[in-house]
Structure 1
Amino acid sequence: MNTFMRWAGFLVVLFIAAPLVIVVPMSFSDARSLQFPPPGYWLGYYRAYFTDMSWLIPTWNSILIATATMILTMLLVVPATFALVRHRFRGKGFADLMMLMPLAVPHIVMAVGYYSYFGQLRLVPTPFGVILAHTCLSVPIAFLVLSANLKGFDRNLERAAQSLGANPARTFIHVTLPILRPGLIISALFAFVQSFDETVVAIFISGRGAETLPRKMFDSIRQEADPVIAVISTLLFAIVLVGIVAPYFISTLRSRAPKPSKPTGAH
């Protein structure tokens, strides 16, 4: 049974990693289109990505839009989560349902609705329209992560701080916020990734002035299968890998660092 589970786990990992194993060598290929195995290797497409403004501008747009989406999402989700988790009021169930609705509706349906509604507001195609649309898609994920952390929060810690004279603001800053910091960081990270990776809504809402990297990649692979797509995929994979490995590497260095010796007292 253990051998079977090991092989099953190995096959699952292989199935997940296979596309990455294929994309990385294709990013170094000298072929004129996406081709595996590569006929030869060079760094020309990496040079093309870092020197071509038609790729760098969408990349910069995606970073700015994802950052703005993350900030706006957290500004909306934090107070909404505290209200829905800690308080009871009429219509709370309906509010919970509306917060999670974008998870149940297909993105193509949401994209059509955003295109029609934002078009009337003249937000198509503008970066602000993309930010608003991406925020609507990011709110449910951030809400689920943060609400799970808040439900497990021990409110006795806040009561103890207030009994010692701390006002609600100081209690939130010095007690609540430090304990919820991991959940807040994860919620913000999910919001950023959701926006940076989103394609369907960006195709409908964004235009030339707000073209995102996923939309650029979609248009490129549909028209000419530019190998620069493999370069971008490899770079994104490398960034994710570094983000996963870095915490373990830092914790290992800290554990191996020599601890300062305690000063000896005078006798």
Structure 2
Amino acid sequence: MNATLKTIGVLVVFFIAAPLLIVVPMSLSSAPSLQFPPPGYWLGYYAQYFSDPSWLRPTLNSVLIATANTVLTMLLVVPATFALVRHKFWGKSLANVMMMMPMAVPHIVMAIGYYSYFGQLGIVFSKLGVVLAHTCLSVPITFLVLSANLKGFDRSLERAARSLGATPAQTFLHVTLPILRPGLLISALFAFIQSFDETVVAIFISGRDAETLPRKMFDSIRQDADPVIAVISTLLFVVVLGALLAPHVLHIARRLARRAVPILENRS
């Protein structure tokens, strides 16, 4: 059974990673457009990406918008999750449904609604409009992750802290927050990815000054299939891979450091 599960896992990983076998070589291609297999290899498109403001500006916009979206989403979702999970009040079921509604509505429908409503407010084609729209889209998945962590939280730990004289704020900072930290970090990560990767709403409400990287990539592949798209995909993969490997590298480095300390002490 274990061997079967491992085989299935390897096949799933290969299926997910298979496009990289095409994307990475195309990022190094010397062809004027996306072409596989590449006729030749060079690093010109990497240099073009890092020197072209038309690509760097959307990248910076996406990072700023995703960061602002993450902060705003967490400020809204954290208190809402505590209220919906730990308290009973009239309209709780309706509030739960409303929190999940953006996940059930197609993004194209929401994009049209945002375009009309934000147009009346005068914030369409602005970073603020994109941040607000992305926040609405990020709330459901963030709420699901955080509520799952909060439902499994042992409240007897908080009661013990309160019985020992801790204030509600001290209990939250020193008991609740450390235990929920992994769930909070994962929720924030999902909010960031949701915003950074979103395309449909950005196409409708992001103007020239608020153009995001996914919208730039969509416009580019629709017009001329610029190989810089493959460069960006490869760089994003490297960033994600680095983030996944960083904890393991740090763990190995700490183990090596702990082993080195006694050796150095003996030598001294």
Settle same-fold status: TM greater than 0.5: yes
Aligned residue for 1:160, secondary structure, equals: helix
Paired amino acid for 1:168? P
Aligned residue for 2:209, secondary structure, equals: helix
> Could you tell me how far apart the structure 2 residues matched to 1:199 and 1:96 are?
26
Paired amino acid for 1:13? V
Residue ranges of structure 2 left out of the alignment (5+ in a row): 263-268
Paired amino acid for 1:15? F
Change (3 A) 1:155 1:4: closer
Give 1:32-47 correspondences, 5 Å limit.
Answer: 32-47=32-47
What is aligned with 1:264? Answer: none
2:68 is the counterpart of 1:79: no
Offset at residue 116 of structure 1 (A):
1.0
Report the count of equivalent residues. 261
Offset at residue 10 of structure 1 (A):
4.0
Change (3 A) 1:15 1:169: same
2:124 is the counterpart of 1:124: yes
> Could you tell me how far apart the structure 1 residues matched to 2:7 and 2:187 are?
34
> Could you tell me how far apart the structure 1 residues matched to 2:14 and 2:208 are?
38
Paired amino acid for 1:111? A
> Could you tell me how far apart the structure 2 residues matched to 1:165 and 1:249 are?
41
> Could you tell me how far apart the structure 1 residues matched to 2:80 and 2:58 are?
32
Identity %: 75
Change (3 A) 1:8 1:189: closer
2:259 is the counterpart of 1:228: no
Offset at residue 245 of structure 1 (A):
1.2
Offset at residue 7 of structure 1 (A):
5.2
What is aligned with 2:208? Answer: 208
2:166 is the counterpart of 1:176: no
Paired amino acid for 2:95? A
What is aligned with 1:65? Answer: 65
Paired amino acid for 1:129? G
Paired amino acid for 1:198? E
What is aligned with 2:266? Answer: none
> Could you tell me how far apart the structure 2 residues matched to 1:153 and 1:99 are?
21
What is aligned with 2:17? Answer: 17
Offset at residue 177 of structure 1 (A):
0.7
2:132 is the counterpart of 1:135: no
1:183-222 superposed Cα distances (whole Å, 9 cap, x missing partner): 1111011100100000000000100010000000000000
1:98-130 superposed Cα distances (whole Å, 9 cap, x missing partner): 101111111111111111111111111110000
Paired amino acid for 2:182? P
> Could you tell me how far apart the structure 2 residues matched to 1:75 and 1:165 are?
28
Offset at residue 2 of structure 1 (A):
7.0
Change (3 A) 1:6 1:171: closer
Offset at residue 86 of structure 1 (A):
0.2
| TM-score, with length taken from structure 1 | 0.94
Offset at residue 255 of structure 1 (A):
3.3
What is aligned with 1:164? Answer: 164
Offset at residue 251 of structure 1 (A):
1.9
> Could you tell me how far apart the structure 1 residues matched to 2:40 and 2:52 are?
22
> Could you tell me how far apart the structure 2 residues matched to 1:3 and 1:251 are?
28
2:192 is the counterpart of 1:197: no
| TM-score, with length taken from structure 2 | 0.93
Residue ranges of structure 1 left out of the alignment (5+ in a row): 262-267
What is aligned with 2:112? Answer: 112
> Could you tell me how far apart the structure 1 residues matched to 2:94 and 2:127 are?
30
Offset at residue 14 of structure 1 (A):
2.6
